[in-house]
Amino acid sequence: MAKRPRLRAIPLGGLGEIGRNMMALEYDENIVVIDAGLMFPEEEMLGVDLVLPDVTYLAERKEKVLGFLLTHGHEDHVGALPYILPKVNAPIYGSRLTLGLIKNKLREHKLVEQADLREVKAGDVVELGPFKTEFIHVAHSIPDTTALAIETPVGMVVHSGDFKMDQTPVDMRPTDMARLSHFGDHGVMLLMSDSTNAERDGFTPSERTIGEAFQELFGQCPGRIIISTFASNIY
């Protein structure tokens, strides 16, 4: 009797570490890749500029890779793409802002013409081989962030991406709990969830509280105020 194909979840980075987020799902002769992030080096990594996922497994099976499914535009989720595409070139699916940030990165590496960028929005469904993926809006510190609900031949896989339960986000678009609940009600075989700071007690405050804190702090400052920020921390 022939063996029934199995679904394999292959973490290429991002587990037990902050950054380098990349996960591959493989069923039979088909692979989809979720995110492709880099990690900034630790203090002891002298002379190291970036830490990238090891994509040897994908490069050896590049003809099986059907596409990259991106959750959002932060570097730790998309920053490795310019280094991966020359080895594994497949269609890239992401939201408008996510693809805009990626396009800028690819332009720096002279790879824009080689990239197949396909824009999606929350609610869209993408079918790649045996994988049927719905993009779901979630709140995060950057616009156009999505979770992924991936229907596979053996069951539903939900990948949360980065998210926060913020009922008053600055764009007034909280995480789509109704849609996530829909998949929960119908059964999820595997949940792959963001767990950053999950060991801490309490709840993450709303992004809106930052504005209130700024007003209080700035009002107490008698002199010049200098603010540093991170380029992709849009909110």
pLDDT of residue 145: 97
Contact call for residues 62 and 29 (beta carbons, < 8 A): no
Beta bridge partners of 68: 33, 92
Measured in whole angstroms, the distance separating CA 74 from the mean position of its chain's CA atoms is 7
- pLDDT tens across the length of the chain (235 residues): 567 789 999 999 988 888 999 999 999 999 999 999 999 888 888 888 899 999 999 999 999 999 999 999 999 999 999 999 999 999 999 999 999 999 999 999 999 999 999 999 999 999 999 999 999 999 998 999 999 999 999 999 999 999 988 888 888 899 999 999 999 999 999 999 998 888 889 888 888 888 888 899 999 999 999 988 876 667 6
**Token output for 197:** 């700071």
Domains of the chain, by residue range, sit at 7-220
**Token pair of 2 as six digits:** 């022939």
Pairing of β 22-27 and β 7-13: antiparallel
- Give the helix, strand, coil percentages of the chain, each rounded to 5: 25, 25, 55
pLDDT for 3: 72
Residue 172 backbone zone (phi > 0: left; psi -120 to 50: alpha; other: beta): left
pLDDT the model gives residue 95: 98
Query: How high is the pLDDT of residue 198?
Result: 84
Q: Which pLDDT score is estimated for 115?
A: 98
The residue written with tokens 């408008």 in the block is: 96
Alpha helices in the chain (DSSP H): 56-59, 75-78, 81-84, 96-108, 177-186, 208-220
- Determine the CATH number of domain 7-220: 3.60.15.10
Asked if 148 and 154 touch (Cβ cutoff 8 Å), the reply is: no
Name residues whose C-beta falls within 8 Å of residue 20's C-beta, 6 or more positions apart in sequence: 12, 13, 14, 37, 38, 39, 51, 52, 53, 76, 80
